[in-house]
């Protein structure tokens, strides 16, 4: 008999119950169980073609099924980017200065999209560490207008953890999503979607999330060509609505070796078919943010089971590249278990492509990271936010990913 069992036996003999004894102080804390009244659901199979035939080989996925799934998300969820918006943008360096406190150089770059006589400019901030390049790049889709992006930003600001990223030896860039397309239902004419609008709107026209993801690709068009940046080692990061955007950007743009998807909730990494009181649903998100998705997505309000996709398939679109999803214990609105399951159920595609995926179908304890092969997940204590704890988890994964990319050369 081990000492722990013996001690519990003595407590029981003294008349105490197991509940009174309590778990050991070191026992890991787990996320709460699902509500008992949550309806059952069946997920669409990413490894079946639209005609029902099985996706049997990696070549089947790469040559055909991946394209099918991308088109389903474009048609039913995020929308299609106009052909006129696919070309590279004009850009210019407008400011550059050293930041001694960070041992880095800060630059402001302005990107300009043109269509006919109209134009739209949005700025990007870039910090590069001292020393010789090229170095990996971490791009943040910043969804908060209050986060400072200039050279004089506070060193300890966490939402864009510049100091921590630079300490790892990486460059980092950020742009404010609202500069690309306003985060308002009435902002269409002021953003890039209005710039490229042509004719009557269609139900699969791009929503604001797709416009923000488009901007991420246009940013790396420019930054990946700079001498200081290693275009083979790039990560995309986003929180909340920015997390939804980061995952969709990485699904489409294979230059991103890693997607860090923080508390993305409904329309991001979580399973839409999980319905219970207290979490965001398709009906709620489209009512509150009608501009984020395409018009077709609104048809699935309270009809999630009719969608031909769910968001494990969105995670799978990044395969075999890495996805790391993060949740917060108190962020029930985003459904942390649904976010975890979005990662877990992408596993069959990762395994088909030679990756092992996550090692377990059980969520890790609060405060821990589960890393597998190609997929990672963590859940921390606290509310909805992008914190230094999240950044450190993502950057530890980035170190693995960037090392893999270096070895592959």
> Catalytic positions, please?
240, 384
Rounded Cα gap, residues 122 and 175, in angstroms: 8
340 Cβ neighbours under 8 A, 6+ residues apart: 325, 327, 363, 377, 379
Strand 171-176's sheet: what is its strand order?
Answer: 90-99, 104-115, 118-129, 171-176, 135-142, 229-239, 258-262, 322-328, 375-380, 368-371
CA angle 145, 149, 155 (to 5 degrees): 115
294 Cβ neighbours under 8 A, 6+ residues apart: 75, 76, 77, 78, 79, 80, 203, 204, 205, 206, 207, 210
265's tokens: 């909730």
15 Cβ neighbours under 8 A, 6+ residues apart: none
Rounded Cα gap, residues 182 and 191, in angstroms: 6
Q: Which residues of 215-242 are buried (b: 16+ CB within 10 A; e: fewer)?
A: bbbbbbbbbbebebbbebbbbbbbbbbb
66 Cβ neighbours under 8 A, 6+ residues apart: 317
Residue 375: count other Cβ atoms within 10 Å of its Cβ.
Answer: 26
100: left (phi over 0), alpha (psi -120 to 50) or beta: alpha
Question: What is the full DSSP assignment across 232-251?
Answer: EEEEEEEETHHHHHHHHHHH
Residue 118: count other Cβ atoms within 10 Å of its Cβ.
Answer: 11
Residues facing residue 112 across a β-bridge: 90, 121
Are residues 329 and 366 in contact, defined by beta-carbon separation less than 8 angstroms?
A: yes
226's tokens: 């700079």
For 48, 50, 59, 349, the CA distances from 56, given in Å and listed in that order, are 9, 14, 8, 10
């Amino acid at each position: 008999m081990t000492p722990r069992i013996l001690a519990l036996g003595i407590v029981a003999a003294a008349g105490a119950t197991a509940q009174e004894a309590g778990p050991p102080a070191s026992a890991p804390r787990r996320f709460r169980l699902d509500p008992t009244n949550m309806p059952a659901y069946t997920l669409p199979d990413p490894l079946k073609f639209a005609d029902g035939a099985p996706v049997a080989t990696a070549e089947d996925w790469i040559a055909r099924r991946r394209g099918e799934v991308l088109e389903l998300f474009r048609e039913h969820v995020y929308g299609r980017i106009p052909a006129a918006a696919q070309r590279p943008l004009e850009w210019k360096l407008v400011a550059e200065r050293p930041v001694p406190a960070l041992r880095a150089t800060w630059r402001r770059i302005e990107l300009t999209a043109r269509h006919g006589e109209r134009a739209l400019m949005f700025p990007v901030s870039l910090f590069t560490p001292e020393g010789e390049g090229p170095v990996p790049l971490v791009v943040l889709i910043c969804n908060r207008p209050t986060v400072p992006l200039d050279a004089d930003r506070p060193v300890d600001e966490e939402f864009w953890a510049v100091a921590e990223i630079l300490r790892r030896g990486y460059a980092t860039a950020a742009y404010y999503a609202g500069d690309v397309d306003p985060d308002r239902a009435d902002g269409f004419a002021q953003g890039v979607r209005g710039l490229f609008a042509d004719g009557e709107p269609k139900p699969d026209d791009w929503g604001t999330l797709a416009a923000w993801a488009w901007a991420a690709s246009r940013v790396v068009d420019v930054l990946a060509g700079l001498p200081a940046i290693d275009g083979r080692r790039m990560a995309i990061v986003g929180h909340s609505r920015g997390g939804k955007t980061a995952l969709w950007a990485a699904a489409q743009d294979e230059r991103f070796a890693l997607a860090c998807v923080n508390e993305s909730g409904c329309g991001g990494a979580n399973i839409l078919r999980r319905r219970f009181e207290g979490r965001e649903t398709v009906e709620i998100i489209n009512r509150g943010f009608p501009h984020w998705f395409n018009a077709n997505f609104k048809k699935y309000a309270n009809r999630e089971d009719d969608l031909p996709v769910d968001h494990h398939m969105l995670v799978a679109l990044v395969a075999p590249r890495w996805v790391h999803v993060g949740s917060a214990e108190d962020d029930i609105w985003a459904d942390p278990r649904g976010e975890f399951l979005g990662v877990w159920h992408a596993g069959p595609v990762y395994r088909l492509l030679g990756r092992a995926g996550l090692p377990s179908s059980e969520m890790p304890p609060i405060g821990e990271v589960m890393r597998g092969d190609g997929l990672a997940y963590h859940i921390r204590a606290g509310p909805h936010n992008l914190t230094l704890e999240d950044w450190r988890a993502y950057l530890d994964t980035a170190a693995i990913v960037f090392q893999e990319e270096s070895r592959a050369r």
